[in-house]
Amino acid sequence: MPDSTSTKPRQLLHLVFGGELSDIAKHEFTDLDKLDIVGIYPSYAEAHKAWKAAAQKTVDNAQMRYFIVHMHRLLDPVEEGPPQS
């Protein structure tokens, strides 16, 4: 049985994905079927590493963009507090 008093770091899920944008001034993709789902990561630091690696692979395509989505904020918005402006 796991020890409930352990100091295991809190799991803050982050999704990394990308695709080719139809217009670089907007977040609208040319083809949703071709989105690159890089993965889901337990911390921002790990997600950032994956984002950076994916973005660097597509540096020659100016229309290609990768994003990090803070899934933990979507799953538990009350815990995070009010949105920042």
CATH number (domain holding residue 50)? 3.30.70.2400
Per-residue pLDDT of the chain (85 residues; tens, 9 = 90+): 555 566 877 889 999 999 999 999 999 999 999 999 999 999 999 999 999 999 999 999 999 999 999 999 888 877 655 555 4
* Structural domain includes residue 84: no
The structure's pTM equals 0.78
State how far the alpha carbon of 66 is from the alpha carbons of 19, 21, 24, 78, in Å: 7, 10, 12, 27
Radius of gyration of the chain measured on its C-alpha atoms: 16
Residue 75's pLDDT is: 86
* Structural domain includes residue 25: yes
* Structural domain includes residue 42: yes
Residue 85's pLDDT is: 47
